[in-house]
């Protein structure tokens, strides 16, 4: 490719949308501005954080707290005031950015940090028939991919690995890894100070199928569960007394767990820990040092965990009130300290490795490491591809992967030999999108189906759903039309095995036929529902014993050993876009998990 006069003219006349002004976004904007692009729009809903400044070089310390899109625009204008650049401090999934918005552009460049937004832009670009260049980095690795309707595969052609989730009883009863204790500690934070969520119970789970004794419906009484329904009331009654709280969660609840004997037949039983024992734990006379390594990098001794448990509760209890609850944030010091202390105390009780505050922050905040160099490389490739796309040279834009090291192949940047064709069974970009959904129609409500399956699982924004054959509208995006159905079970309104639902998302200009399959979760690890684009995948999946979480974990590990596996980060810094605003639990719900694509 030569940057000829034609290329320059094409560039000068093109209108480009950059979605995301983070690590890759800043680099892309700089490359565009220096390459002669004169009409740029940039959208990002995030504000600037100190931890962005090591790579998001359009921002400086004095910009912390300001909207990324707005500051990025100012920085680019400061370099070249002649560029037309429009900034939106907003979410790209908002209804304000419909088909006509996308149709304005010659090309869209994604520099996003989460899968939901990527899926959405993918659909908008398919609907508007605008070429999209998708990119991402994770640590030293990254990738660039062109998505063009009718030419290449789309972002959703290949199923992505599911999020890593943990069964409730592993968290509540039988943790075996540090991450289980960290999830539990975050749940405890929410129980004490956050919005109460029944799915985040921290007390012993008496429904654990493992704890059942044969011939007996329940091994223990339901007392544990019932008692805990009023956790918040009880906590307020004892005025957040730290020693009482400590003894409740780390001594009495553990003693209760020990009574569920079946759990400990093959496991090492936990050891209850009282406030007095913890506070005076021996071998802990480490002097407080005021440097980073000591505070953050070293594992706190048990007595310090107990001390921090008490002191953070004293701070946090004053922030919470009858009508105000706290949202856990890794960058809020007492909140992060509280989780560090609780995770380590629980780990100690269950003989699990304890971790430093620094390490726990990575896991609890789902932090993906990010560096300027990888972003610069990927952003350079994005704009090189953009040149070719604007010249309609789509075939010359196969995906390119940045590797941490080349191992035997010599490739640091490895381009595919050719573009990848669309998956004919893709439930997004095929001519007649179709997908199989496996749900329990007798227990799932219509509202759950809308929120969990259609919105979270299939990434629709505002679906309208018609039950095929009967022509009945079961879910409407218009307010006040179908709320009456919300609490009904699917089967009650006639959605059963074999039903076909015509789901239409007006914003995404996306119509999907959903075939309903009856499915009942059997194992405790089984998901609430399954989405299967290609029925053949089902058979393959079953042979992997359904342990999707473990499978995913193994893939992640394999990546460090195999040269041909590629980790593709969804993101440069996912938690910044999600945990604060959407109050997601990053570990369990965050859609920004690593996904692995075989190059």
Partner 1 sequence: MAEKQLSAVEAELYDRQIRLWGIESQEKLRAANVLLINIRALGSEIAKNILLSGINSLTILDDGTVTEEEQQKNFLLNKGSVGNPIADEVLIKAQALNPLVKIKVDKQPPSSKDSSYFKNFTIIVATCIKTDLLLKIDKVCRSSNVKLIYGDVFGTFGFSVADFLDHNYHEDQIKLAGKKRTHGEKDHEKTTIKVQGVINYPELKKVLILPNTKQSADSIKKSKRRNELFYIMLALMEFRNKNNRNPAIESKEGDLKTLETIKADIFQLYEVDELKTKLPADIFELVFGEEVVPVCSVVGGVIAQEVIKAVSEKEVPVNNIFLFDPITFDGKEEAIGA
**Is 592 within 8 Å of 573 (Cβ atoms)?**
no
**How many CB atoms lie under 10 A from the CB of residue 305?**
26
Q: Does residue 543 interact with partner 1 by CB under 8 A? A: no
Per CB under 8 A, contacts with partner 1 among 127-186 are: 139-140, 170, 174, 176-177
> Is 91 flagged in the annotation as binding?
yes
Here the tokens at position 55 are 């790579």
Three-state DSSP at 7 gives helix
Q: Shortest Cβ distance from residue 595 to partner 1 (Å)?
A: 19
> Is 546 flagged in the annotation as binding?
no
Which CB atom, from 196 or from 555, has the smaller least distance to partner 1?
A: 555
Residues in the chain: 599
β-pair type (141-147, 595-598): unpaired
List Cβ neighbours of 245 (8 Å cut-off, separation of 6 or more): 192, 235, 238, 313
Q: Shortest Cβ distance from residue 497 to partner 1 (Å)?
A: 28
Quick note: the x/- pattern for partner 1 over 175-204, rule CB under 8 A, is -xx---------------------------
DSSP H helices, 350-399, are 357-364, 372-390
> Is 224 flagged in the annotation as binding?
no
> Is 53 flagged in the annotation as binding?
yes
Which CB atom, from 57 or from 506, has the smaller least distance to partner 1?
A: 57
| CA 134/CA 397 separation, integer angstroms | 12
Among 443, 557, 562, 581, binds partner 1 (CB under 8 A): 557
> Is 52 flagged in the annotation as binding?
yes
Q: Which stretch binds partner 1 (CB under 8 A): 48-56, 111-119, 253-261, 458-466?
A: 48-56
| CA 265/CA 212 separation, integer angstroms | 13
> Is 22 flagged in the annotation as binding?
yes
Here the tokens at position 103 are 């149709």
**How many CB atoms lie under 10 A from the CB of residue 406?**
12
Which CB atom, from 98 or from 168, has the smaller least distance to partner 1?
A: 168
CA distances (Å), origin 36, targets 33, 108, 117, 131, 393: 6, 16, 28, 19, 19
Task: Judge whether 342 counts as a catalytic residue.
Answer: no
Q: Shortest Cβ distance from residue 261 to partner 1 (Å)?
A: 14
> Is 503 flagged in the annotation as binding?
no
Per CB under 8 A, contacts with partner 1 among 512-541 are: 523-525
Q: Does residue 3 interact with partner 1 by CB under 8 A? A: yes
Sign of the Cα pseudo-torsion (453, 459, 464, 470, in order): negative
Which CB atom, from 369 or from 498, has the smaller least distance to partner 1?
A: 369
> Is 366 flagged in the annotation as binding?
no
Compute φ and ψ for 300, nearest 5 degrees. -70, 140
Instruction: Provide the edge-to-edge strand list for the sheet that holds 400-402.
Output: 84-88, 39-43, 15-19, 107-110, 132-138, 141-147, 400-402
Q: Shortest Cβ distance from residue 19 to partner 1 (Å)?
A: 18
Q: Which stretch binds partner 1 (CB under 8 A): 51-59, 222-230, 244-252, 307-315?
A: 51-59
List Cβ neighbours of 237 (8 Å cut-off, separation of 6 or more): none
Per CB under 8 A, contacts with partner 1 among 18-37 are: 27, 30-31, 33-35
Per CB under 8 A, contacts with partner 1 among 75-94 are: 78-81
Which CB atom, from 278 or from 414, has the smaller least distance to partner 1?
A: 414
Q: Shortest Cβ distance from residue 369 to partner 1 (Å)?
A: 4
Per CB under 8 A, contacts with partner 1 among 304-343 are: none
Q: Does residue 381 interact with partner 1 by CB under 8 A? A: yes
Q: Which stretch binds partner 1 (CB under 8 A): 13-21, 226-234, 412-420, 501-509?
A: 412-420
| CA 452/CA 450 separation, integer angstroms | 6
Q: Does residue 266 interact with partner 1 by CB under 8 A? A: yes
Which CB atom, from 515 or from 597, has the smaller least distance to partner 1?
A: 597
Which CB atom, from 104 or from 267, has the smaller least distance to partner 1?
A: 267
**Virtual torsion, Cα 361, 367, 373, 374, nearest 10 deg:** 150
Please tell me which residue in 26, 125, 169, 305 is annotated as part of the active site. 169
Per CB under 8 A, contacts with partner 1 among 448-487 are: none
> Is 98 flagged in the annotation as binding?
no
Q: Shortest Cβ distance from residue 518 to partner 1 (Å)?
A: 24
Which CB atom, from 484 or from 558, has the smaller least distance to partner 1?
A: 558
Mind spelling out the 3-state secondary structure of 541-594? HHHCCCCHHHHHHHHHHHCCCCCCEEEECCCCCHHHHHHHHHCCCCCCCCCCCC
Long-range contacts of 577-581 (CB under 8 A, 24+ apart): 577/45, 577/46, 577/113, 577/114, 577/117, 578/114, 579/328, 579/329, 579/330, 579/365, 579/366, 580/327, 580/329, 581/45
Q: Which contiguous run of DSSP H or E holds residue 184?
A: helix 178-193
Q: Does residue 213 interact with partner 1 by CB under 8 A? A: no
| Binding-site annotation, residues | 20-25, 44, 52-55, 68, 91-92, 113-118, 154, 157, 426, 429
Catalytic residues: 169
| Binding-site annotation, residues for Zn(2+) | 154, 157, 426, 429
| Binding-site annotation, residues for ATP | 20-25, 44, 52-55, 68, 91-92, 113-118
């Amino acid at each position: 490719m030569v940057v000829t006069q034609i290329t320059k003219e094409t560039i000068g006349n093109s209108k480009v949308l950059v979605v995301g002004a983070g690590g890759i976004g800043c680099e892309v904007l700089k490359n565009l501005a220096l390459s002669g692009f004169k009409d740029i729009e940039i959208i990002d809903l995030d504000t600037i954080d100190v931890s962005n400044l090591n790579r998001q070089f359009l921002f400086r310390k004095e910009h912390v707290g300001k909207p990324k899109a707005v500051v990025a625009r100012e920085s680019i204008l400061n370099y070249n005031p002649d560029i037309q650049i429009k900034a939106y401090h907003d979410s790209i999934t908002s209804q304000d950015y419909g088909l006509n918005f996308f149709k304005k552009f010659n090309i869209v460049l994604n520099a996003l940090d989460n899968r939901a937004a990527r899926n959405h832009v993918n659909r908008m670009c398919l609907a508007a028939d605008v070429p999209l260049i998708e990119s991402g980095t994770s640590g030293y690795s990254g990738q660039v991919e062109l998505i063009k309707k009718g030419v290449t595969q789309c972002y959703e052609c290949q199923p992505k690995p599911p999020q890593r989730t943990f069964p409730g009883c592993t968290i509540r009863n039988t943790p075996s890894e540090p991450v289980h204790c960290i999830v539990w500690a975050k749940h405890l934070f929410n129980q004490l100070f956050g919005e109460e969520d029944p799915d985040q119970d921290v007390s012993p789970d008496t429904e654990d199928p493992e704890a059942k004794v044969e011939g007996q419906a329940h091994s223990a009484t339901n007392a544990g569960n019932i008692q805990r329904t009023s956790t918040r009331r009880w906590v307020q009654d004892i005025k957040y007394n730290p020693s009482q709280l400590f003894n409740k969660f780390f001594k009495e609840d553990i003693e209760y767990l020990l009574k569920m004997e079946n759990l400990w037949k093959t496991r090492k039983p936990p050891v209850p820990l009282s406030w007095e024992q913890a506070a005076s734990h021996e071998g802990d006379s480490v002097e407080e040092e005021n440097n980073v390594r000591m505070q953050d990098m070293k594992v706190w001794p048990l007595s310090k965990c107990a001390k921090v448990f008490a002191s953070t509760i004293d701070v946090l209890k004053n922030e919470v009130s009858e009508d105000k609850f706290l949202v856990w944030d890794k960058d809020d010091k007492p909140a992060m300290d509280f989780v560090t202390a609780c995770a380590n105390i629980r780990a100690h009780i269950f003989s699990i490795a304890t971790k430093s505050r620094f390490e726990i922050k990575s896991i609890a905040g789902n932090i993906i490491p990010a560096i300027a160099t990888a972003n610069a490389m990927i952003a350079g490739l994005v704009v090189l591809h953009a040149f070719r796309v604007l010249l309609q040279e789509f075939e010359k834009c196969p995906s390119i992967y940045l590797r941490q090291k080349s191992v035997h192949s010599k490739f640091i940047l490895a381009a595919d030999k050719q573009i990848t064709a669309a998956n004919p069974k893709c439930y997004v970009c095929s001519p007649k999108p179709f997908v199989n959904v496996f749900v329990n129609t007798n227990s799932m409500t219509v509202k759950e189906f809308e929120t969990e399956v259609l919105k979270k699982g299939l990434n629709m924004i505002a679906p309208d759903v018609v039950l095929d054959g009967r022509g009945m509208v079961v879910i409407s995006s218009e307010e006040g039309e179908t709320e009456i159905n919300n609490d009904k079970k699917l089967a009650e309104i006639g959605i059963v095995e074999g039903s076909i639902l015509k789901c239409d998302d007006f914003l995404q200009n996306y119509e999907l036929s959903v075939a309903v399959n009856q499915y009942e979760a059997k194992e405790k690890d089984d998901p609430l529902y399954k989405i299967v684009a290609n029925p053949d995948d089902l058979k393959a999946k079953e042979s992997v014993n359904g342990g999707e979480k473990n499978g995913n974990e193994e893939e992640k590990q394999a990546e460090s050993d195999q040269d041909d596996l590629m980790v593709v980060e969804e993101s440069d810094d996912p938690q910044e876009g999600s945990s604060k605003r959407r109050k997601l639990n990053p570990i369990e719900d965050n859609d920004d998990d690593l996904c692995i694509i075989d190059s």
